[in-house]
């Protein structure tokens, strides 16, 4: 099956049998990065973004990750179980992205119950995941929090995500930040910053909400972990600020507030 599916990677147009779709789902957390990263995820991404799966298969993929609750698979364990959770977060992000884009063949194909599952689980993942490993010499990229951030960014951008829930999203980001015991070293804070950028791009009145959230944060610097948390916050702000320069999306008050934190960055 691996060799059979590998042939699809270089094709611009392709389809999947039900057997192939089941194999991809079964191997979402495969311990071999060549299979998990470069085959399974790549084919899910190409297939969902180009309409390579039938509507029935798209529903199967969505309902399988929901029914098996893959994003919360064996939460009490770290590697290798984290791989299933992390790459299911990526898969869930692809699903909710496709459901929310008007040019997607799967636009609004999810029913309300399943869509709500993805909205809820994207926020809950930041509270429940504890494995901060970015890269493993044995397993390759793990990136649970980076992938969780990608998922949550897609949720925030969804046209049916309730905009008043942005506060919940920011609270989840804050939870990660204030519970950090060691620094992120594989770019996770930049991926988390994209949640804020996605909010600014898609959510009405997000400038005011983010301004109030930043204004209410406090960073007592007593232990080493306090400095890690401040560094994450500053890295997020820097990423958001420089990323926003291209689109000039920041309004004056929020820009000045961010720069007040970044002046000594």
| pLDDT surpasses 90 at 135 | yes
Q: How far apart are CA 35 and CA 37, in angstroms?
A: 6
Domain boundaries, the chain: 1-161, 162-265
| pLDDT surpasses 90 at 24 | yes
pLDDT at site 59: 98
Phi, psi (degrees; rounded to nearest 5) at 135: -140, 140
What are the pLDDT digits (tens) for 138-160?
999 999 999 999 999 999 999 99
What are the pLDDT digits (tens) for 245-261?
989 899 999 999 999 99
pLDDT at site 264: 77
Report the candidate in 111, 83, 81, 84 with the shortest Cα–Cα distance to residue 95: 111
User: What interhelical angle do 55-67 and 42-50 show, nearest 10?
Assistant: 130
What are the pLDDT digits (tens) for 26-59?
999 999 999 999 999 999 999 999 999 999 999 9
pLDDT at site 10: 83
Report the candidate in 223, 128, 244 with the shortest Cα–Cα distance to residue 181: 223
- Helix (H) or strand (E) holding 211, with range, is helix 206-215
Half-sphere exposure of 112 (CA within 13 A, CB side): 1
pLDDT at site 169: 98
- Residue 13 pLDDT grade (very low, low, confident, very high; cuts 50, 70, 90): confident
pLDDT at site 243: 93
Report the candidate in 82, 190, 90 with the shortest Cα–Cα distance to residue 136: 82
pLDDT at site 233: 97
Q: Are 125 and 151 in contact (CB under 8 A)?
A: yes
Q: Are 91 and 83 in contact (CB under 8 A)?
A: no
pLDDT at site 118: 99
Q: What does 114-138 look like in DSSP terms, one character per residue?
A: HHHHHHHHHHHHHHH------EETT
Half-sphere exposure of 215 (CA within 13 A, CB side): 11
């Amino acid at each position: 099956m691996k060799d059979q599916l590998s042939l699809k990677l270089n094709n611009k147009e392709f389809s999947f049998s039900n057997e192939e779709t089941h194999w991809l789902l079964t191997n979402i957390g495969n311990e071999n990065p060549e299979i998990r990263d470069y085959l399974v995820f790549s084919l899910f991404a190409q297939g969902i973004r180009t309409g390579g799966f039938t509507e029935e298969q798209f529903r199967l993929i969505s309902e399988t990750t929901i029914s098996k609750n893959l994003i919360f698979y064996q939460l009490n364990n770290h590697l290798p179980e984290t791989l299933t959770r992390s790459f299911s977060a990526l898969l869930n992000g692809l699903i909710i992205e496709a459901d929310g884009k008007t040019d997607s063949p799967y636009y609004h194909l999810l029913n309300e119950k399943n869509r709500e599952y993805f909205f809820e689980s994207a926020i809950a993942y930041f509270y429940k995941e504890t494995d901060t490993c970015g890269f493993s010499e044995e397993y390759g990229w793990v990136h649970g929090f980076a992938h969780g951030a990608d998922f949550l960014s897609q949720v925030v951008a969804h046209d049916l995500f309730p905009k008043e829930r942005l506060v919940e999203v920011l609270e989840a980001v804050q939870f990660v930040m204030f519970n950090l015991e060691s620094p992120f070293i594989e770019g996770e804070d930049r991926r988390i910053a994209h949640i804020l950028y996605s909010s600014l791009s898609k959510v009405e009145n997000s400038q005011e909400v983010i301004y109030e959230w930043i204004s209410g944060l406090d960073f007592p610097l007593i232990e080493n972990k306090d400095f890690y948390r401040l560094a994450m916050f500053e890295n997020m702000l820097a990423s958001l600020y420089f990323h926003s320069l291209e689109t000039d999306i920041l309004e004056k008050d929020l820009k000045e507030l961010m720069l007040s934190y970044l002046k000594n960055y």
